[in-house]
Amino acid sequence: MNPYIEILRPGNALMGAIAIILVAIIDKSLTIPIILAMLAVFFETAAGNVINDYFDYNIDLINKPERPIPSGRISPKAGRNYGYLQFLLGTICGFLISYLTSNWIPFVIVLISDVVLYLYAYKLKTTPLLGNITVGFMTGLGFVFGGFTINNPTIITTSLYLGFFAFVMTTARELVKDIEDMEGDKSEGAKTLPILYGEKITAILAFVLIIIDCALCPLLYYNQIFSFYYLIVIALAVILFIYSAILIIRNQDRQTAGKVSKYLKIGMLIAFVSFIFGSL
């Protein structure tokens, strides 16, 4: 794969854009602002991925040596400038959305995203818990961004529900990933939660967040946001979430953490599918 495509982590960036697609499906609409919102989330997510790789160069030499920058296929300077380009493209999309809809909240959200994503890569990632919360916040913000792009009060409320769900589960997954990446993080003097307080405490916190999210899932049905079909599909995700929670609470080695991180990601994809079925 071309390193300039690989460094974007297009699969990850497309997953971010799924938030907009889901909100559009729920609203049963497809407009130019929605398409621009998909592009904005893609570019912003890609920008975060690239600039994160730039700042994580030394850590990735140990954890992810095959990535474009540590492998030498892209120089650090070229990677940094490429990240800035993605930020610019995302910001332009945000401006066009607000210009076309006469609603400047989406543009403000994109500007906030620019700042938060850069600060995360530069400093917040190595800040215990705050870094994890930041990633969760940005994931949930994608849904909220979609809601304000459509600018329908009902859809905005729904997007807030979905955003909170994504925020909690993503934060849990980030904690698990910190357990997986402890070796490289230690070598760089990073102060992540498992390094400061141990893998067990981190696993307990991830476990609690996962269980909280599972317990809240039925609210989207009981508050009449989604239909009964939602409950059928989300049950599969909940089973996988609970299984993942049990795995990480029992064992916190790197291999197990890697599996749990993968399972949580799959579970979130299933949850996203449940949102689609629930809107039928």
Rg (CA), the chain: 19
Alpha carbon 242 to chain centroid, angstroms: 20
Counted residue by residue, the chain has a size of: 280
Beta strands in the chain (DSSP E): none
Lowest mean pLDDT among 20-29, 63-72, 78-87, 147-156: 63-72
- Give pLDDT, residue 64: 77
58 vs 65: CA distance, rounded Å: 9
Q: Which residue has 């999210």 as its token pair?
A: 213
10 vs 82: CA distance, rounded Å: 14
Contact (Cβ atoms closer than 8 angstroms) between residue 49 and residue 9: yes
- Give pLDDT, residue 189: 67
Report residue 196 as tokens.
């400061």
Would the pLDDT of 132 be above 70? Answer: yes
Contact (Cβ atoms closer than 8 angstroms) between residue 16 and residue 141: no
Confidence of residue 74 (pLDDT cuts 50, 70, 90): confident
Would the pLDDT of 15 be above 90? Answer: no
Q: Which residue has 């500007």 as its token pair?
A: 111
The string of pLDDT tens digits covering residues 211-239 is 999 998 888 888 888 888 999 999 999 99
**What contacts 24+ positions apart, CB below 8 Å, involve 93-101?**
93/36, 93/37, 93/39, 93/40, 93/43, 94/36, 94/40, 96/33, 96/36, 97/33, 97/36, 97/37, 97/40, 97/149, 100/32, 100/33, 100/36, 101/33, 101/149, 101/151
Query: What is the mean pLDDT of the segment spanning 74-78?
Result: 88
Confidence of residue 183 (pLDDT cuts 50, 70, 90): confident
- Give pLDDT, residue 117: 95
Distances 240 to 169, 177, 233 between C-alpha atoms, Å: 12, 17, 12
Buried b (16+ CB within 10 A) or exposed e, 10-36: eeebbbbbbbbbbbbebbeeeeebbeb
Would the pLDDT of 105 be above 90? Answer: yes
List the helix and strand counts (H, then E) for the chain: 14, 0
